[in-house]
Amino acid sequence: MNKDILLCGVGGQGTVLASKLIAAAAMTNGNTVHSAETIGMAQRGGSVTSHIRIGDKACSPLIPLGNADIIIAFEPAEAVRNLCYLKKDGMVIVNTVPVRPTTESLKPTGYDGTEMTDYLNKKCKCITVNSEELCAPLGSSKFFNVAVLGILIADGRIDIDRDTMINEINKRVPSKFVDINIKAFNLGGKFYEAQCNTAESGRYSD
């Protein structure tokens, strides 16, 4: 398998954990994996970008512009900011719930993410997800970073199966949060099946 996956968001959304789970699952399947994170001022709500390159074709951890097969965006503006990395037939999975920058409180602009998601839908194949609605059964949208992996795996564009990812969640998430993160992962899979009417329905049970 040769895939380039870029994850982007802002500090506190769990972007790095999601990237580590993908990378670990790919390595469990015997793939060579290169990865790198660009964190910057993440602790202050700044941008976070994780690059994952799976397969023997990659010779460096950073994805070249126009080469990403998949972009997973935890915030709509970050998706647009990083769209230059997406290849022509690539796909974006984007959270439609915006994280308003600090400057918004000083001078409101009305930013609600709608313009960004509309732009993405016009420019590329795009799966839009409202993290608050998807994660409502869990009581918090902070589990979206694992829920979105359920969407990724259900889509089938990467050669990682559901059991392999759940095994990595069991190994890499603190034990007291494992069950709820598996529920989040399953919610993502159910969302994809409901949206895309996949033939293999019912695989994602609690």
pLDDT in tens, 103-160: 666 777 888 899 999 999 999 999 999 999 999 999 999 999 999 999 999 999 999 9
Centre a 10 Å sphere on the Cβ of residue 126 and count the other Cβ atoms it contains.
18
pTM score: 0.91
The residues that bridge with 37 in the sheet, in sequence order, are 50
Task: Band the pLDDT of 46: cuts 50, 70, 90.
Answer: confident
The 3-state DSSP class for residue 67 equals coil
CA distance 113 to 103: 15
**CA 150 to chain CA centroid, nearest Å:** 9
CA distance 7 to 79: 9
CA distance 30 to 102: 43
